Amino acid sequence: MKKVALTSAVAAAMLAGSVQAATIYENHGLKYELKGDLQVQLRQKIGPERDIDLEFDDLELKNRLSYDLGNNMAAFGQLDYSFDKKANDPSAEGSGKLEEAYLGLRFDNIDLRFGKQNYSTDEFSVEQAYETVVEDDIFDLNDDAGDDVVRIDAQFENVFVSVSTDLEAEGNSNSDGNSSTDLFVSTSVADLSMMVAYQDYQAPGAAAVTSWGIGVEYDAGFATFGADYGSMDGTADVYNLVAAFPVAETTKVALGIQNRDEDAGDEVTGWYANATYKFPAQRNVSVFAEVGDTDAENTDPGFLAGMQVKF
C-alpha cells in the first residue's frame, strides 16, 4: 500500500516533518514528536480459495526528534517501528520491525538524511488501493528501501526533488548488499501535477537493472484523475490508472486499474474500487471498504473492510 505524493504541496509537508504528529515535549529548541498509524481490516485476499481473516496493517509508531540549530538549520532523527507482523503472526520473532532509523540535517528547504530509510523512488505512484492488486508501480519490482541510504530532499517553489543512494557496503555482514541510485522529481502547474523517477538498482550477485517512470494527476474539481507508467529494462512494464471522487465532504471513492506486462510474455490486469469515510469531528479516524480482482486464471475476487486511526 502506497501513499500518493504527487504535488509539491505534499512534498513540502514531508520536508516539514510529522505534520499531524503529537508533540510530546518541546523546550530549548528540542522537539519530540510521536506519530501513529493503526489499521485493522477484515480481508479476503484475491486468489483461489482464500478464507476471510482479520489483518493488522500499518501498526506503526514514528518517533521524531529535532533540534533548532539557528540560522535556518535543524538536526533531526527518526525511529519508525511497525508491529503488524507480530500482530498477524504471534510466532514471529521480536516484538516489532524497525522500518526507519535515520539522522539528518535541514538547511532552509533542503533535507540531508542518512540511515535506514526509503529510496527516493518510493515517492512515485498514483495508486490509491488499500491493498495492492497487481503492482503499486514499476519500482516495487525491486526493493524500495535500504539500510545504508543517503538521501537529499529539496523543495524549490513548486518543484520537489529527491535523490538517494543505497551503499553496497560489500564485505559488511550487517548490510543487505543491495545498491541503488534513485531520482524523483515532481511539480504542479495550476491543476496539473507531474512526476518523473529513475532508478539504477543492483542486487547481490545480479546484473544492474535500470527503471524509469512518469506520472500525471489532474484535479478536475469534481474528481481527480491520475496515471503512471514505468518500465524496467529487460523485465516488465507497469501502469496505473485511477480516478478519485469526493461523493460527500466526509466520503471519497477511488477506482483503479493496474497492469503488469512482463517481457517474458506474462501479463496480468487488475482493478479495485474503494470508499473511505472520515469522521467529521476527527478526520484522522476513518472506516473503509475495498473490492478488487485480476484476470489471472483460477482467481477469485477479494474484498476488505477496516478502520484506521492516525495521529
- Tell me what pLDDT residue 20 has: 66
Cell 489532474, located at residue? 218
Residue 27 domain-assigned? Answer: no
Residue 16 domain-assigned? Answer: no
- Is the distance from CB of 168 to CB of 97 less than 8 angstroms? no
Residue 262, burial from CB neighbour count under 10 angstroms (0-12, 13-18, 19+): middle
Residue from 74, 40, 35, 69 nearest 55 by CA: 40
Give 94's pLDDT tier (boundaries 50, 70, 90).
Answer: low
Cell 490486469, located at residue? 269
Cross-strand bridge partners of residue 291: 273, 303
Percent of the chain with pLDDT over 90: 78
172 pLDDT higher than 70:
no
Mean of pLDDT values over 68-94: 87
236 pLDDT higher than 50:
yes
Round to whole Å and give the CA distance between 236 and 245.
30
Mean of pLDDT values over 132-150: 94
Give 50's pLDDT tier (boundaries 50, 70, 90).
Answer: confident
Mean of pLDDT values over 21-26: 91
Write out the residue range of the structural domain in which residue 208 sits.
35-58+108-310
- Tell me what pLDDT residue 176 has: 67
Residue 70 domain-assigned? Answer: no
Residue from 216, 178, 179 nearest 197 by CA: 216
Compute the C-alpha angle 146/152/158, nearest 5°. 125
Residue 274 domain-assigned? Answer: yes
Instruction: State whether residue 138 is helix, strand or coil.
Output: helix
Give 49's pLDDT tier (boundaries 50, 70, 90).
Answer: confident
- Tell me what pLDDT residue 204 has: 86
Q: What CATH code is carried by the domain that includes residue 293?
A: 2.40.160.10
Round to whole Å and give the CA distance between 147 and 83.
19
Round to whole Å and give the CA distance between 186 and 213.
12
Cell 477479494, located at residue? 302
Residue 191 domain-assigned? Answer: yes
Give 115's pLDDT tier (boundaries 50, 70, 90).
Answer: very high
Residue 203 domain-assigned? Answer: yes
Cross-strand bridge partners of residue 289: 275, 305
- Is the distance from CB of 270 to CB of 261 less than 8 angstroms? no
Residue 90 domain-assigned? Answer: no
Arithmetic mean of pLDDT over the chain = 90
Round to whole Å and give the CA distance between 187 and 216.
10
Give 88's pLDDT tier (boundaries 50, 70, 90).
Answer: confident
Residue 183 domain-assigned? Answer: yes
Domain count, the chain: 1
What residues have CB less than 8 Å from 13, skipping those under 6 apart?
19
